[in-house]
Amino acid sequence: MYQHNGEEIFIIDGHVHLWDATEENIQHQGGEEFIQCFYDYHTTFTPEERQWDIDEYRKYGADRMVEDLFGNAAADMAVFQPTYLTDFYTEGFNTTEQNAELATEHPERFVLNGTFDPRDGEEGLEYLEELHEKYEIPGVKLYTAEWRGDSKGWRLDDEEAFEFLQKCADLGIENVHPHKGPTIRPLNRDAFDVKDADDAASSFPELNFIVEHVGLPRLDDFCWIATQETNVYGGLAVAAPFAQNRPGKFSEIMSELLWWLGEDRVIFGSDYAIWNPDWLVEEVMEAELTEEHRAEYGVEWDLETKKKVMGENIADLYDIDIEAKREAFEDDEISQQFGLEDHYAGEEPTPADD
């Protein structure tokens, strides 16, 4: 648990991946363009001394992921968000089944989400049921710009997509995470447009729509949608690293979100391994709103707001009992591996707090 001004804050990283972008797994030029674009984002918003080389970035593996997320207690839990891209990668880029290997090894630490693609029709509906039956997935990550044959994307408000959202509602899969943010080469910018989240959220009030990347660069559109759809949340992946080298922009983004949505509907995510919570959590926690933004918007990035955004809000969506988790982590396998037992018992800080 991160310690900030003497207070403990339980960190749930709401957006992580375990991917394979090795050359052996790439079957389409789009796969190489995709990982190179990720790497550009990584180097642009990561401190130079924290940057990875491209080879380790292509496939870092489960052991490194566990250490990066939990080794210094920068994060306490994480939510897997799959991204299949099977037209680009032979075995997929980051599938539910691949994530499940690590999630089932450490079920107390990871939440495993699935996915759907309405272009898969009846087979897709059956696959969604299989994921729910096998893994009891509580959420789905949706990638509306994914290429599939001649198709270069789909919309959340399509009739076919509504069939899958209804299936989610029927199965009790309550949390829907659509990627609605920056484009990634060679995918199409318009296929990530946030506008289709409006009708979907209105039509399925029983579902929670955690709009990943808060619609960037269409933040204004996202905020106008989210203020009237109370089941729409903002996922901070991509927005968070602005705290490191664009603090004024981070202040602007957070001020807009807190003014429009309030402190209860904004959720932290690192987008690991594009960025690493072992440094990003501290940057976000120590960031400040500018005086101008605080005066104009009348919002604060204070301790109570940070507690909600960094863990409590997503804990509410996923029915995570933070106090029970904290007690369980006093002697779980990961705490024993990294010597964190005393930290979770409240007896000493960790490197993340220094």
When pLDDT is cut at 50, 70 and 90, the band that residue 254 belongs to is very high
Distance of CA 72 to the CA centre of its chain: 20
Q: Tell me whether residue 224 is in a domain.
A: no
When pLDDT is cut at 50, 70 and 90, the band that residue 354 belongs to is very low
Q: Tell me whether residue 37 is in a domain.
A: yes
Q: Tell me whether residue 309 is in a domain.
A: yes
Phi, psi of 211 (to 5 degrees): -80, 105
| pLDDT exceeds cutoff 70 at 347 | no
Q: Tell me whether residue 165 is in a domain.
A: no
Kindly report which listed range (89-98, 180-189, 249-258) carries the lowest average pLDDT score. 180-189
Q: Per-residue pLDDT tens for 271-304? A: 999 999 999 999 999 999 999 999 999 999 999 9
Q: Tell me whether residue 292 is in a domain.
A: no
Pair 128, 169: CB distance under 8 Å: no
Q: Is the peptide bond before 217 cis (omega within 30 degrees of 0)?
A: yes
Q: Tell me whether residue 160 is in a domain.
A: no
Distance of CA 281 to the CA centre of its chain: 13
Q: Tell me whether residue 100 is in a domain.
A: yes
When pLDDT is cut at 50, 70 and 90, the band that residue 6 belongs to is confident
Domain range spanning residue 2?
A: 1-112+269-287+303-341
Q: Tell me whether residue 180 is in a domain.
A: no
Query: Total domain count for the chain?
Result: 1
* Whole-structure pTM value: 0.96
Dist. CA 246–CA 239, nearest whole Å: 10
In sequence order, what are the beta bridge partners of 177? 141
